Amino acid sequence: MTKQSSIRTLSAGSIGNFGEIYDFAVFGFSVPILSAHFFPGSDRTAALLSTFAVYAVAFFARPLGGLLFGVMADKVGRVKVMAMTVWLMALGTAVIGLLPTYASIGIAAPALLVFCRVAQGLALGGETTGTTSFILESAPDDRRGGWIGLTLIFSHLPNALVAGLLIGLQFAAGASAYADWVWRVPFLAGGLIGIVGFWLRRNLDEPDEYKQATSRTDSRNPLRTAIRTGGLRGMLNVAMIQPIQTVGSYLLLGFMYTFLVRVAKLDPTSALITNAAAIVVLSFMIPLGGVLSDRLGRKPVLSFGAAWLAFAAYPGVYLAATGTIAGALAGQLLLAVGVGLYGGACFVAAPEFFPTAFRATGHAISYQAAVAIFGGTTPFIATLLVQASGSPLAPAYYVALVAVVCLVLVQFVPETRGVSLRTSGSATPNEGASRVAHELR
């Protein structure tokens, strides 16, 4: 692959990641505003819990989207699925920006909000797996972690950029106007990002690895093939390594801003700035983790990242809860380093557990189920723990527990650095190749 085609491949994957996560980030940062507009009859905590529950709805739609688009990505190609998902996500986000509020149409308003979140969840369920498979199969074998890490910068930077955008809009429009209608602008902008993403992806070629592995597609059933040829073992491996990456990420991305404002009593602007800074650090730690996993192996980096989070969870949340800018920044940075390093190895190892013939299907089901269970519920669980215990430090114990469990489970998954993508996850390369070939007949 030439340098020009490499840049084009990475750019096309990155813009889709950017658009998809931008849309989720806008919702996450808008939870306090959305709770006031769509759940105004509840007390403040109940309204937040209701909005976080709607936030979680999209995560439970992700496994369905992952299954639907994962099978399609294996049958008709990664590129076609990447084009479809970027459109669906953009549409769901733009419609949120146009929704009437509870004051205008009553209970129909939160119902429509849920519908839009389902559309976003379906799209992200397919986008993550489609893009990851596309980049993995396009990358040089000894740089797969680095390539995946580079595209994932753009899966996290939108959170920081959204924070900056919201600060700018609040400053320019004023708090009253922003709360009234300006909050809609970032959602509407998500539709424009979708158009750019589709334009960049429209003429991409499928990776040679995919074309060679799936040249016989007449009667292929990727889901059946995955079940019959060892895919369940790969799904279990994903379920073993994914939880702490997901919990740590969504603690920072979906919960921490609201925690800083509502619990730590930090002013909204300072909360946004410190959260954005931590997310920038997280974004650039992921490719570092990917590069290290290319050199040292996936398991050593996963083990280090999980151990870091197990030890850093308590001081990280403790510092964030102090209500000071310095504490909020330091606490979130502690968490960001561990999540980033772990994620750099986790995101490349997960699709490597599956052979090319059903990589998207196997990865989508297991990855999206793990994200739905552990990611979408993290803001809700963290909020509930604070309320039930009366302690702002309660989320730290949850993160530390998940980190310790994953640290143990990581030791039981196979090392995938340098594995052949064609036969990955098989008992033996020759046996796996022959069994997959038989299934494709």
Residues 317-341, mean pLDDT to the nearest whole number: 95
Would you state the pLDDT for residue 438?
A: 45
pLDDT at 216 over 60: no
Q: What is the pLDDT of residues 354-366, one digit of tens each?
A: 998 889 888 988 8
pLDDT at 73 over 80: yes
Amino acid sitting at position 148: I
Q: Kindly list the distances between the CA atom of residue 264 and the CA atoms of 247, 271, 324, 393, in Å, as whole numbers in the listed order.
A: 20, 9, 8, 11
Q: What is the pLDDT of residues 365-406, one digit of tens each?
A: 888 888 878 877 888 899 889 988 989 999 999 999 999 999
DSSP assignment of 274-315 equals HHHHHHHHHHHHHHHHHHHHHHH-HHHHHHHHHHHHHHHHHH
Question: Regarding the domain with residue range 3-440, which homologous superfamily does it belong to in the CATH classification?
Answer: MFS general substrate transporter like domains (1.20.1250.20)
Would you state the pLDDT for residue 340?
A: 95
Check if the beta carbon of residue 293 is closer than 8 Å to that of residue 301: yes
Parse the chain into domains and list their residue ranges: 3-440
| 111 confidence band (pLDDT: 50, 70, 90) | confident
Q: What is the pLDDT of residues 410-439, one digit of tens each?
A: 999 999 998 988 877 654 444 444 444 444
Residues 154-178, mean pLDDT to the nearest whole number: 82
Higher pLDDT, 216 or 288: 288
Q: What is the pLDDT of residues 34-62, one digit of tens each?
A: 888 887 765 667 777 777 777 777 777 87
Would you state the pLDDT for residue 431?
A: 42
Task: Show the tokens assigned to 209.
Answer: 């690895």
User: Alpha-carbon distance 201 to 41, whole Å?
Assistant: 44
User: Alpha-carbon distance 149 to 268, whole Å?
Assistant: 30
Would you state the pLDDT for residue 42?
A: 59
Question: Can you give the pTM of this predicted structure?
Answer: 0.82
Q: Which residues contact 20 (CB under 8 A, 6 or more apart)?
A: 85, 86, 89, 123, 124, 127, 128, 155
Would you state the pLDDT for residue 436?
A: 42
User: Alpha-carbon distance 229 to 433, whole Å?
Assistant: 9
**CA quadruple 307, 311, 314, 318: dihedral positive or negative?**
negative
Residues 104-123, mean pLDDT to the nearest whole number: 86
Among 30-34, 222-226, 249-253, name the one with the lowest average pLDDT: 222-226
Would you state the pLDDT for residue 3?
A: 59
